[in-house]
Amino acid sequence: MIDDIEWRVTPGLSPYAETLAEMEARVAAIRAGEARELVWLLEHPPLYTAGTSAVADELLTPDRFPVFEIGRGGRYTYHGPGQRVGYVLLDLDKRGRDVRAFIGGIEAWLITALADFGIAARSEPGRVGIWTGEGANEAKIGAIGVRLRRWVSFHGFAINVDPDLSHFAGIVPCGLPEFDVTSMAKLGVGGDMAALDTALNRHFPVLLNALESGEKQLPQHG
């Protein structure tokens, strides 16, 4: 089943508008049975995206970077160099049509991958995304925002490997002003994008298993 899914890593910085157009064309092709499902890993130049729940007041510096209004769930997010963006294009029509299991599976997949680097990441009830630390040190290391079109998923996640964290100051990230953002580099585990890609590939079955079972697959530690 995994072998039927294309795994693509694009080097350099991918222009956002062109990437979005290619992603939407691939979604249509998957639905038509003309293309394989796809996991696409890339980086973008600095930009902000506004999800369907974005609040205008949460764009604090609207002239700092380009702003793209898109159809994924969520509020304002930042993308930029040093951040691994993953677009997950799966046919949920043949994988159970369970959106909750899909989002929970993405969370569990990313948490398991980050554990390879000694990062104790987690999900939090009522807060979509990936979190680290406790109390004053609690911060968000990964964002998740997806959309479905005729049961084909697109958009996906972003993990902060070693981006310029000051760029997040131009928005209220995901509408949560009380929480900081962090990165793998800030947590002291380096900023090796290729190593993260390897971990994501290795643990991708966590997401597929979540869809197959219809429930979130909790990472096993020990």
- In this structure, what CATH number is given to the domain that contains residue 53? 3.30.930.10
Residue 168 known to bind ligand: no
**Residue 88 to residue 185: CA distance in whole angstroms:** 24
**Three-state SS annotation for 90-155:** CECCCCCCCHHHHHHHHHHHHHHHHHCCCCCCEEECCEEEEEECCHHHCEEEEEEEEEEECCEEEE
Integer angstrom CA distances of residue 157 from 34, 38, 86, 173: 25, 14, 5, 14
In the numeric block, which tokens belong to residue 125? 């009830």
- Whether residue 219 lies inside any domain: the answer is no
- Whether residue 108 lies inside any domain: the answer is yes
User: Residue 106 in contact with residue 164, Cβ under 8 Å?
Assistant: no
- Whether residue 52 lies inside any domain: the answer is yes
- Whether residue 221 lies inside any domain: the answer is no
Number of domains in the chain: 1
Mean pLDDT of 174-203: 89
Residue 72 known to bind ligand: yes
The overall average pLDDT reported for the chain is 91
Closest CA to 219 of 126, 145, 119, 100: 119
pLDDT at 211 over 70: yes
Tracing tokens 């764009």 back to the chain, one arrives at 59
Closest CA to 58 of 180, 181, 175: 175
Residue 71 known to bind ligand: no
- Whether residue 56 lies inside any domain: the answer is yes
- Whether residue 171 lies inside any domain: the answer is yes
What residues does 152 pair with on adjacent strands?
91, 149
- Whether residue 181 lies inside any domain: the answer is yes
Closest CA to 48 of 31, 67, 24, 29: 67
Residues identified as active-site: 174
Mean pLDDT of 175-203: 90
Instruction: Kindly report, residue by residue over 113-137, the tens digit of the pLDDT.
Output: 999 999 999 999 888 789 999 888 8
Helix (H) or strand (E) holding 25: helix 16-31
Residue 82 known to bind ligand: no
Q: What domain range is 141 assigned to?
A: 2-213
- Whether residue 185 lies inside any domain: the answer is yes
What's the pTM? Answer: 0.92
